[in-house]
Amino acid sequence: MKSRGYAKNSHGFPNSDKLIFRKPLNKKTIAITRKPEDAKEFLNLVASAGGRAIALPTIDFVPNHRAIKNAIRRILVDNFDICIFMSPKGVSMLCSYATQAEGMEELKSILNTKAVIAQGPATKNVLQNYGISVEQIPDKFSSEGMVSLFRRLELGSGKKVIIPRSGKSNDYLGKELLSMGLGVTELFLYSTKTAVPGQIWNEFVNLINQGEVDALIFTSGSSVCSFFEILNKFTFSLHHLPLTSTVIISIGPLTTKKLKERSIYCIEASEHTIRGTFELAKSVLESKTLPRRD
């Protein structure tokens, strides 16, 4: 019987020229609730670990051009101290519109005189790509993490905060900042709607029915809601999942809450990022891998 992962010579030691390197996600399939164009980082991470990734489009982003135009105007003329960006999508929509309207340089100039705070590293990277400096990101990349950051900062009352974000955002962050004596203006740039399922969904449903999806990653509360709405079109329920072979992973607390409302057990990533969900999936799936017997 051969040892798992490598061949040995007559002395019982590995033959350096016959080492067999098995990637941690070899023959594993992981699905994520994002469009392929928004899941490039995840697709690359899974592929590099030897696994197969499935990008499931669950939501479409619908920009509100009038609201975006108004948000740019407010940023340019309002007297505010801090601008909080909660997602890469919000940054992209705002800055893309400003670029098309030839107002990006002015927008960048104004924001670079303010304290800009990004919810996480992905949002920070998009801002920096547009030439906007980011002063801080919270330790936890979530609304709760943002609130904790502001509590530590102890800014005192009177500071004014602008938050460009999704129209489907909950009111937790705004209420908490108001309770600290801050002036809060939320600018809702876009909404979301359930995506129309394509062929990849047929493939996913077949695989999950056969118990061949090793992990399923949810990336937002909206994606949870839309995921189930789409599944209903296939007359399929996630409750039929063989949970002993499929790991359900949540990117953060709001996503976890939506899953728990549906009585779906999940494991929440400690780092609320795409890389964080990948590392958690890899860790869990590696620990579940049975020794190979040749």
pLDDT of residue 147: 94
Could you tell me which of 215, 259, 236, 222 has the C-alpha nearest to residue 32? Answer: 215
Could you tell me which of 223, 229, 119, 290 has the C-alpha nearest to residue 248? Answer: 223
How many other CB atoms sit within 10 Å of the CB of residue 49?
19
pLDDT of residue 21: 56
Q: What angle do CA 218, 62, 35 make, to 5 degrees?
A: 35
Sorted by sequence, the CB contacts under 8 Å of residue 17 that are 6+ apart come out as none
Domains of the chain (ranges, CATH numbers): 19-58+195-288 (3.40.50.10090), 63-193 (3.40.50.10090)
| pLDDT beyond 80 at 204 | yes
Share of the chain above pLDDT 90, in %: 69
Q: What is the mean pLDDT of the chain?
A: 87
Helix, strand and coil percent figures for the chain, each rounded to 5: 45, 20, 35
pLDDT tens for 104-153 read 999 999 999 999 999 999 999 999 999 999 999 999 888 999 999 999 98
pTM listed for this prediction: 0.80
pLDDT of residue 24: 81
The tokens 């975006």 sit on which residue?
68
